[in-house]
Amino acid sequence: MKTVLVKSLKRVIPFLFSLTLIASGAQAAPYTFQTFDAPSAAETWPQGINDSGQVAGYFMPNHTPTPVHGFMRSTNGSITTFENTSSYCNGSNVTRAFAINGSGQVAGYCLGGYWGYHYGYVRSADGLTFTPAIDDPAVVHAPVSDASGTSVTGVNDNGQVTGYYTVSSATHGFLTNADHTQFTTIDYPSANAGTTYARGINNSGWVTGYYSSGPGTHGFVRNADGAFTAFEVPNSTLGFTYAYGINSSGQVVGSYKGTDNHFHGFIRSADGLTNTMIDYPSASLTHAYDINNNGQVTGIYKLTDGIVHGFIATPVAEPATHFAVTAPATATAGTALSFTVTALDDSNATVTGYSGTVHFTSNSTAVLPANATLNSGTGTFVATLTTAGIRTITATDTVTVAISGTSNNIAVNEPNYKAKLLPDGVLFASIQHAYASISSGDITILAQTWSFPEDLLFGNDTDVTLTGGMDGIFNPTTDYSTVKSVIVEKGSAVIGNITIK
């Protein structure tokens, strides 16, 4: 096994440049390539990868059509080989694995009694059982010279499988339900007759594959409603684009034949706007066969010696360059608010691996969170801004201060006040929201105080008088006055003013 970190692919720079112009900014993304070979294999062909990083595929001990064996590679790199010995495989010694779902079920096909008679299967996660033969009802198995059969090439977490079947030299895609009892034929509408190959399926039931039209081959995506989208990788010669795998976000992987007459792997974005090249360095050929929801890609490459090797390409996370801080547009002074901090890279993608510590500041007097870390690149926090006006919150990495971000403007409003008539006739001014508005002598309203406890009533200080508090209408139901303001005096000096809103 060998691990190679690839940040730029110099051999294919001309094609990257073309893709950048035509495919809205496509470029070679940095990947770590981990290579592997099945035991005693002359050719190793990984075909599917799940979110845990388990890989399924097949290998050939010799450079010959038989024997062919399936394998499953675990996350620790150990490889288990297997053979489907079910009666429908008829001892053919040809078992191909093409897909693996989240639970570890492996799907593929074996060779039956006649050359070209394929039967699909799903292998249990523990490897102890195989399903009965999965065979499209349109297939008629009879001793004929042309290949006929069902090839299962994809399985999702719901148990649906996809693939293609061949009858009288015509090939059609298909999709089944979870128990493989209902088959839906998939033919691209304008394809040359009998040239549609369904290859991959995601958990939403979207299927990807390829078809022939005119002299070329083109990729397609079929959504769960049956609508098709066709595509080609720009600069593929004669439209030679093959789509093989699709993940839950809609990213598609496959291969295309470039103007250099070599095959290159590609990743198509979910919106279809970009196609990113993925090539093993110095390879004469690269095929990308599947992509999981973490962006890991599995496939094969070939060097000048002609040996086929497997790889897993793991995207290298771009470093965080700034924070996005999102806060509410309005707030009340002294009232807690929630805000979110997200670590982003240069392309504004979330950096889920960000492991730094965030420090918080504000242009308001405030109660802010202590230094904190983010979870998968994002975090939600609580702050209390105590000064009215247009305020912001800033998040800054404690080590790399250039990694920073400031929130949108927050319009912080003054809090509402109320005045209450106590049974002894003393007017009690209470603050519903913490707000430092009066501070003089021994009469203090603290920012930390939500309301005045009774032992701090102004009326308890004989030197303090409240005027203007009784000229409103007293509401006996709520015990609150509707007065508009209360003037607070100590001696002959006015030391504060409480506005009642």
Burial of 64 (0-12, 13-18, 19+ CB in 10 A): exposed
The C-alpha R_g of the chain, in whole angstroms, comes to 34
Sheet-wide strand order for 464-467? 464-467, 485-490, 493-499
Phi, psi of 63 (to 5 degrees): -85, 55
Residue owning tokens 């034929």: 185
pLDDT at residue 466 in the model: 40
- 262/212 Cα distance (integer angstroms): 19
Confidence at residue 339, expressed as pLDDT on a 0 to 100 scale? 98
Whether the CB-CB separation of 376 and 293 falls below 8 Å is answered with no
Place of tokens 């250039």: 402
Amino acid at 266: F
Residue type, 188: Y
Other C-beta atoms lying within 10 Å of the C-beta of residue 30: 15
pLDDT digits (tens, 9 = 90+) for 441-464: 333 332 222 233 333 333 333 333
Residue 26 is predicted with a pLDDT of 38
For the chain, first and last CA: distance in Å?
A: 73
What distance in Å separates the CA atoms of residue 400 and residue 448, rounded to the nearest whole number? 33
376, 320 contact by CB (below 8 A): no
- Written as six digits, the tokens of 272 are 């279809």
- State the pLDDT at residue 117: 83
d(CA 220, CA 252): 9
Distance of CA 226 to the CA centre of its chain: 24
Q: What pLDDT is attached to residue 495?
A: 39
Q: What pLDDT is stored for residue 445 in this prediction?
A: 32
CA–CA distance, 141 with 358 (Å, rounded to integer): 66
Q: How far apart are CA 226 and CA 175, in angstroms?
A: 11
- What is the rounded distance in angstroms from the CA atom of residue 244 to the CA atom of residue 253? 6
Give the whole-angstrom CA distance, residue 227 versus residue 204: 14
For 161, 167, 235, 492, the CA distances from 177, given in Å and listed in that order, are 7, 21, 37, 87
Which conformational region is residue 387 in: left (phi greater than 0), alpha (psi within -120 to 50 degrees), or beta?
A: beta
φ, ψ of residue 18 in degrees (nearest 5):
-65, -45
What's the rounded Cα separation, in Å, for the pair 450 and 482? 20
**Ranges of the chain with pLDDT below 50:** 5-28, 417-501
Q: What's the pLDDT at 141? A: 73
Domains of the chain: 322-413 (2.60.40.10), 417-499 (no CATH)
- Tokens 């034949």 sit on residue: 257
Residue type, 341: V
At 20, which helix (H) or strand (E)?
A: helix 13-22
Q: Which residues pair with 121 in a beta bridge?
A: 108
Please tell me whether the overall predicted TM-score, pTM, comes out greater than 0.75 for this model: no
